[in-house]
């Protein structure tokens, strides 16, 4: 009985310590978020993106490109409010198993938040700040606006930070002119720009493209026959 009581008390103590640790991390993350937006409001950061010389409206991008990005980056984009509990829970479990922060489970909105304010450093505090900012973005902007801002603020490798710069650099054409093949190829690059840079590693970029197309089939943006035609 004494052993059982000791185990129960130990479990309770560990639970309290865990809750306190999470509370501290959440507070630190919220503080980081508050400091960031107090120094530069979200509206100002958004305007800076929209003022880019190569900013491209969403309607000027091929539908298949938009679908490819959503399929491979955040297939529940239109269902969540900026933070995807399912994706985060899955990523957290994998991180615990590997004792790393290899998987982030970040939504497109969270990635936009990171691009606007934070570094690429993988820390729990920054991830929490990112969530608070993602919630604010979802409250102030539509899904279409968020996707458009995201595609004009991510890194595509080869010195390209907008979809137009990437399309011109890699294919020598405007984004609206990209073929299905080029659209699915470009959609995979931001996951690891240095790895999938078309000028440096075209074979790896095409391997990533196959993953993109497979995701599009999985989430019913493409049929298997359409996917095979694109890859052929």
Tell me the per-residue pLDDT of 49-84, one tens digit each, with 9 for 90 and over: 999 999 999 999 999 999 999 999 999 999 998 877
pLDDT band at 126 (very low <50, low <70, confident <90, very high): confident
Print the domain residue range for 24: 2-231
Spatial neighbors of 186 by CB under 8 A, at least 6 apart, are: 65, 156, 163, 166, 167, 170, 171, 178
Residue 115: partners with Cβ closer than 8 Å, 6 or more residues away: 150, 153, 154
Neighbouring CB atoms inside 10 A of 184's CB total: 31
* pTM for the structure as a whole: 0.85
| Mean pLDDT computed over 91-117 | 69
How many structural domains comprise the chain? 1
Is the pLDDT at 9 greater than 90? The verdict is: no
Per-residue confidence band for 104, with pLDDT thresholds at 50, 70 and 90: low
């Amino acid at each position: 009985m004494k052993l059982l009581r000791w185990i129960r008390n130990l479990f309770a103590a560990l639970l309290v310590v865990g809750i306190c640790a999470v509370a501290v991390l959440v507070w630190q993350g919220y503080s980081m978020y508050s400091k960031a937006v107090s120094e530069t409001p979200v509206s100002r950061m958004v305007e800076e993106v929209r003022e880019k010389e190569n900013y491209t409206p969403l309607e000027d991008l091929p539908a298949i490109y938009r679908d490819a990005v959503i399929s491979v980056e955040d297939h529940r984009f239109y269902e969540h409010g900026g933070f995807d509990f399912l994706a985060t829970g899955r990523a957290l479990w994998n991180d615990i198993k590997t004792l790393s922060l290899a998987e982030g489970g970040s939504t497109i909105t969270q990635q936009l938040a990171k691009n606007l304010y934070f570094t690429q450093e993988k820390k729990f505090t920054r991830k929490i700040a990112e969530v608070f900012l993602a919630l604010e973005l979802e409250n102030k902007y539509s899904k279409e606006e968020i996707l458009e801002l995201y595609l004009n603020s991510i890194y595509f490798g080869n010195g390209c930070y907008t979809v137009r710069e990437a399309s011109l650099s890699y294919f020598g054409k405007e984004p609206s002119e990209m073929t299905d093949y080029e659209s699915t190829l470009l959609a995979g690059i931001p996951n690891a720009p240095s790895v999938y840079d078309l000028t440096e590693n075209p074979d790896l970029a095409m391997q990533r493209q196959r993953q993109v197309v497979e995701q599009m089939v999985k989430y019913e943006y493409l049929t298997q026959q359409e996917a095979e035609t694109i890859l052929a």
